[in-house]
Each structure stands twice: as structure tokens, then as C-alpha cells.
């Protein structure tokens, strides 16, 4: 089973206050903004399966898979993620 | 003269003894079922335990071999399974030369790296840090093409000051790699 399922991907969208900016044939593309600038984006696959794999998301938001899971499951906050992004020079 | 090695006897003698041991008793002329056997005596009494011992030794060796072959067969099956899994897990490079049917063309061909992740696959265009997942390798590549086009369209509409370092770099890489068909 995927580390990041569709269910967790949707939690990440909520957690990062990402905005679905575009719908393509196979994805909804969600972008994350900080202080008016787009700092990351990732695709949410179409499909009703809750376990649909989204293991591409961690790389897109500059996290390890385990950290991305923590982001979806609560322990890591948006502020915590912004701090990580800042430390990695991505802001 | 050929000798039966485990009991150190000439083969002819061994065959003779075996012949004696396994000879069927004569049919009872009166139709009675009880047949009197000759008691084993003399040389036979010494040879038979040796033969049984030799038979046991040979049987042990045969069974041991069979068990060994069984274990080896299982090991080989397991290794085959692991090799096939490793082949699936090892990343593959897929050259991207077209974005059809999207109205975009590739101006500088690039590679997608497709890796197994659990039961799914992830395709990545590393230079642009764009990835997509799929249930199969080809679905992951198709999804990657879809997201590349979508990302390109989003990033092309933004002003420079609306993009953080990551998306700004992505836009630059994408502008060097693809363009809308004219």
C-alpha cells in the first residue's frame, strides 16, 4: 500500500491550505502559497479509491515520505512545514 | 571382479543372496495357504544383516539427497521471486520525446525516472522536480506528462514575483524543455 494515499493527500491539501489551481485530464493541481508566492504544488489523482497512491507528493513538497505522512496525520503543522521549507531555502 | 562396496562382497554373491531372499515360496499343491519357509542358516544368516545395513545406508543417502534437492528447489524458487521483485524495484529511465495528445511539443528531450514505491510507481522529471504516481509504470509516465503540461500552464501565467524559488526554477526548466505547438 502507498505511504501517501489519496485520503492523506487530501488531508495535506487541507493542512497546507493549498488551492486547487487547475484541473487536467488526470489530476487536480494544488498550489501552496506563502506571503503571496507560490512555493510548492502537487497533483491529486482523479479516482474514487481512497487508497490511490500519491507517493509523488513528498518530493513535491520537499519532505521525506514519513514527514509527509506526519503532515497529513497531524503532528506536523503548516507552520512546521514552512519552517522546514525556510531551512531548505525554498521560500 | 566387481564388488558390492558397502558390504565388501563380490556382486555375484550379493545377487545370489538377494535371489534367495526374494524368491517366492512355491505354490501349495493342496491349496492350503500356509507355506513353511526354510529357516535362514549358514552364510545367509551373516549376509542378510549386512545387506539390510547396506540397504539402509543407501536409502539414507537417497533420502538425504532428495531432501537436499527439495531445499535447493525451494531456494531457487525464492531467489527467482526475489530477482523478479528486484527487477521491478530498480528504477528505469524512460525517454520523453512527445507529450501527445496534448498540444505541446518537446524541444529538448528528457528522461523520466520510474521507480516502484510499494505497489505503485512514481515517475519523476528530476530537473524540474515534478513527479506523478500510477498503478503501473506506463500509467505513472502518462500521469507525469499530464502534470508537466498542467504545471507548465499554471507557471506560464504567473509573474516572476509570484513564484518562490522552487516553482521559478521549474518554470525555467520547463520553458527549456517544452513549448505549445504552433
Are the beta carbons of B166 and A56 separated by less than 8 Å?
no
Lowest model confidence (mean pLDDT) among B19-23, B62-66, B126-130, B156-160: B19-23
Closest CA to A23 of A5, A49, A45, A4: A45
Are the beta carbons of A25 and B146 separated by less than 8 Å?
yes
Match 484541473 to its residue by C-alpha cell: A23
**What count of CB pairs under 8 Å joins A to B?**
93
Q: Looking at the domain assignment, is residue A79 inside a domain?
A: yes
- Quick one: average pLDDT of B65-87? 92
Q: What is the pLDDT of residue A2?
A: 85
The residues in B 125-144 lying below 8 A from A, measured between CB atoms, are 129-135, 142-143
B111-168 residue pLDDT tens? 999 999 888 999 999 999 999 999 999 999 999 999 999 999 999 999 989 999 999 9
The residues in A 26-85 lying below 8 A from B, measured between CB atoms, are 26-27, 29, 31, 34, 36-41, 43, 45, 53-56, 59-60, 62
- What's the pTM? 0.69
Are the beta carbons of B117 and A22 separated by less than 8 Å?
no
Opening angle at CA A22, ends A56 and B124, nearest 5 = 25
B147/chain A closest Cα distance in angstroms: 7
The proportion of chain B whose per-residue pLDDT surpasses 90, expressed as a percent, equals 60
Domain count along chain A: 1
Are the beta carbons of A37 and B161 separated by less than 8 Å?
yes
* Nearest CB to A24 within list B130, B147, B162: B147
pLDDT at B13 over 70: no
* Nearest CB to A37 within list B119, B149, B164: B164
Are the beta carbons of A53 and B124 separated by less than 8 Å?
no
Range picked from B13-22, B41-50, B135-144 for highest mean pLDDT: B135-144
pLDDT at B56 over 90: yes
Q: Looking at the domain assignment, is residue A54 inside a domain?
A: yes
- Quick one: average pLDDT of B3-24? 62
- Respond yes or no on whether the N-terminal peptide bond of residue B101 is cis (omega within 30° of 0): yes
In terms of CA atoms, which chain A residue is nearest residue B155?
A38
Grid coordinates representing B11 are 556382486
Which residue range forms the structural domain that includes residue A45?
6-87
Q: What is the pLDDT of residue A17?
A: 94
- Quick one: average pLDDT of B92-103? 90
Q: Looking at the domain assignment, is residue A28 inside a domain?
A: yes
Buried b (16+ CB within 10 A) or exposed e, B125-139: bebbbbbbbbbebeb
pLDDT at B21 over 90: no
Q: What is the pLDDT of residue B109?
A: 93
Q: Looking at the domain assignment, is residue A33 inside a domain?
A: yes
Q: Looking at the domain assignment, is residue A1 inside a domain?
A: no
- Global ipTM: 0.89
Distance between CA atoms of B8 and B1, rounded to whole angstroms?
Answer: 12
Are the beta carbons of B118 and A89 separated by less than 8 Å?
no
Distance between CA atoms of A15 and A19, rounded to whole angstroms?
Answer: 11
- A33-38 contact pairs (CB < 8 A, 24+): A34/A82, A34/A85, A34/A91, A34/B164, A35/A91, A36/B162, A37/A91, A37/B161, A37/B162, A37/B163, A37/B164, A38/B158, A38/B162, A38/B163, A38/B164, A38/B167
Q: What is the pLDDT of residue B155?
A: 94
| CB distance B147 to B162 below 8 Å | no
Amino acid at each position: 500500500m502507498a505511504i501517501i494515499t489519496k485520503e492523506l493527500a487530501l488531508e495535506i491539501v487541507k493542512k497546507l491550505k493549498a488551492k486547487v489551481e487547475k484541473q487536467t485530464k488526470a489530476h487536480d493541481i494544488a498550489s501552496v502559497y506563502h506571503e503571496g508566492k507560490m512555493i510548492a504544488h502537487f497533483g491529486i489523482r482523479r479516482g474514487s479509491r481512497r487508497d490511490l497512491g500519491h507517493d509523488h507528493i513528498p518530493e513535491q513538497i520537499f519532505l521525506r515520505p514519513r514527514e509527509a505522512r506526519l503532515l497529513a496525520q497531524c503532528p506536523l503543522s503548516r507552520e512546521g512545514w514552512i519552517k522546514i521549507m525556510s531551512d531548505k531555502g525554498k521560500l | 571382479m566387481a564388488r558390492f562396496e558397502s558390504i565388501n562382497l563380490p556382486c555375484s554373491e550379493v545377487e545370489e543372496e538377494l535371489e534367495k531372499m526374494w524368491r517366492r515360496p512355491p505354490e501349495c499343491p493342496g491349496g492350503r495357504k500356509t507355506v513353511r519357509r526354510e529357516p535362514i542358516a549358514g552364510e545367509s544368516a551373516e549376509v542378510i544383516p549386512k545387506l539390510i545395513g547396506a540397504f539402509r545406508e543407501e536409502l539414507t543417502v537417497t533420502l538425504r539427497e532428495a531432501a537436499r534437492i527439495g531445499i535447493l528447489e525451494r531456494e531457487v524458487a525464492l531467489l527467482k521471486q526475489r530477482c523478479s521483485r528486484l527487477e521491478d524495484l530498480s528504477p528505469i529511465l524512460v525517454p520523453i520525446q512527445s507529450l501527445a495528445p496534448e498540444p505541446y511539443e518537446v524541444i529538448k528531450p528528457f528522461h523520466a525516472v520510474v521507480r516502484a514505491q510499494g505497489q505503485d510507481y512514481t515517475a519523476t522529471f528530476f530537473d524540474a522536480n515534478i513527479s506523478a504516481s500510477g498503478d503501473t509504470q506506463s500509467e505513472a509516465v502518462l500521469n507525469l506528462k499530464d502534470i508537466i503540461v498542467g504545471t507548465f500552464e499554471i507557471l506560464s501565467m504567473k509573474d516572476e514575483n509570484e513564484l518562490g524559488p522552487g516553482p521559478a526554477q521549474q518554470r525555467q526548466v520547463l520553458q527549456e524543455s517544452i513549448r505549445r505547438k504552433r
